[in-house]
Structures are given as structure tokens and as C-alpha cells.
Amino acid sequence: MNINDIKQIKLHDFLAAIGCKPVKQYGVNLMYLSPLREEKHASFKVNTEINQWYDFGIGRGGNIITLAELLYNSSDVSYLIRQIERNAPSSVSVSLPTAKPITPQNSFEHLQVLPLIHPALIKYLGERCIDVETARTICKELHFDTRGKHYFGIGFPNIAGGYEIRNPFFKGCIAPKDISHFYAEEPKKVCFVFEGFMDFLSFMTLRRKENDGLKRQDYLVLNSVSNVHKALEPLSHYEHVQCFLDNDEAGRKVYQALLTDLKIHVTDSSRLYAGCKDLNEFLCRQNTLPQKPVRNLRRGL
């Protein structure tokens, strides 16, 4: 096999040949327990349409070669080809779970997923007081057409392969809509919960000042209060859930739902930014508020 032959191998067939099988399917996306690390909840995605993978836990993705580089800890292409050939599926074929077709919530066409660099989006993040480099480690720049017009926005990935989309004039999502779940490098007993990704990015911006990054903590973003039922199963595997929800009726209802349905310790941390609607407002008011509340927020974590 040459490298072009190797790239034609279906990723889901290759993964099946090395003993990895999908645990969920969302349209053309298959979700796996990552073959690159230990995890309890599937956060490794394979898009069968474009034959690409993405591991949400480490923020890496690509084709079968880039996967082999990490699996076999080598950048020697000839060695990687030999390793893939050794495990290349001949008659092995993964049995995909059946799934009902998903009807998109919006008619997005010609979707492009790019690095986050557009000046208008960078300006928007600045207006929300979000650290740009922090946002770039998680978010993408999405370009798409809908109803005959071209749009672009900040894309925040979820566990099902969809995206939440934001720009100064638009708030929506590319289906499937789901929660977002990020894992630390080592298993954690505590998970921090947020309603939306702007609050999550606000929290990460505050933590960046203490060099406390994505890999040191588990985080779950609901992406909608209506997704709280989807969060119950993954959150049930922790000993403690700490909620950074909005200081409004919707936020209180989500907290009560988690408190009632989870048989673990659930903490309401919204008091740490009392007087603000949410974490983003708290972040944006930093320059006018005394420094003590900011230290109190960090100390409360």
C-alpha cells in the first residue's frame, strides 16, 4: 500500500480492526471511547462522510495517518504505513448502529470549519472580554450559507458533532444539538457545569490568569437549559458537580433539576458572582469592580 491507498481506508473499519467500536451514532458521526487515552464517556468522533476523526478531550483530529502518529507514537510515515497495513481491515467491517435521519434545525449549506482568525469575530470576543487564545483552543470559525446568503460565526463543538454558533448578530446551532463535555488529562471527581459557552469561555479566561487550563479540570456545557436531561448520565459518574449557572429563574430551575435527579453532591456557585446575571457579565465588569470579588471567585473554585 502507498500513502494514498492508506488514506482510503475507512476510519471506522480501521478502528474496528484494532478492537474499537462506536458507542453512539449521530447521522454520519460515530462516537467512540478514545483509543488514545482512558475515558468513561465517548468523546472521540469519526465523521464517516469525510473520513476524519476528532478527539474532543485533547483537541486533535485529522485523517488515518495523523491518528496513527498518536497511536504508534511516531512521525515516520513508512513505519506508520507498515503498522496500519498490519491492522488494515480486510474482511472486517464494523456494524453501525441504526439511526433515524436527523432533520437539521436550520438549512446550513457549504459548511466550512476553519481556525478562528476573522477580525470581526476577534473583535466580538474582545467586546465580551473573552481571551482570544483561550477561545482558539476550543472554538472554530464557521462559514456557511443559508437561505441564499453567506454567514460566518464562532463555532463551539458539542459531543454529537454539532456546533453552537455566535456572532454579534446571530445566535443558533448546527444540528445535532447536544451538550459539550471536556475531560482533564487524569480522571476527576468534580465537574463544573455551565449553561452556555460564553460563560464557559469567561470562566476559562478568569482561570487563564492562574495558568489553569482545559486539561486540569472536567467541564460540561449544557448549550441550552433544555439539555439538562442529557447531562444527567455523564454527571452521575462524578462525586461532586459545581454549577456556574445564570442568576435567573432558568438557572435556578436547572440547579434544582440537577440537585433532585443526581444522587451526588451538587453545589450552586452562582453566589460567587452575585449581582451579575452570569459569568460573562461578571468578567466584563472586572475593570469597574474591586478586585476582591474576582479573588473570591477564584478562591471559591
Choosing among 3.40.50.1820, 3.40.50.2000, 3.90.580.10, 1.20.1060.10, the CATH entry for 3-87 is 3.90.580.10
Dihedral sign, CA of 290, 294, 295, 297? positive
Decide whether 3-87 matches 180-299 in CATH topology.
Answer: no
Q: 212-260: per-residue pLDDT in tens?
A: 556 678 999 999 999 999 999 999 999 999 999 999 999 999 999 999 9
Instruction: Check if CATH label 3.40.1360.10 holds for domain 180-299.
Output: yes
Task: With cut-offs at 50, 70 and 90, classify the pLDDT of residue 196.
Answer: very high
Residue-range domain boundaries for the chain:
3-87, 109-174, 180-299
On the CB side of 244, CA atoms within 13 Å amount to 27
Read off the pLDDT band of 102 (50, 70, 90): very low
Which triple of cell numbers denotes residue 47? 465523521
Which pLDDT belongs to residue 190? Answer: 95
Identity of residue 76? D
pLDDT in tens, 52-70: 999 887 878 889 999 988 8
Taking the CA atoms of residue 33, residue 35, residue 40 and residue 43 in that order, the dihedral angle to the nearest 10 degrees is -50
Query: How many beta carbons lie within 10 A of that of residue 136, not counting itself?
Result: 15
Put simply, whether the predicted model's pTM sits higher than 0.75 gets the answer no
Task: Using the predicted structure, report yes or no on whether residue 95 has a pLDDT greater than 60.
Answer: no
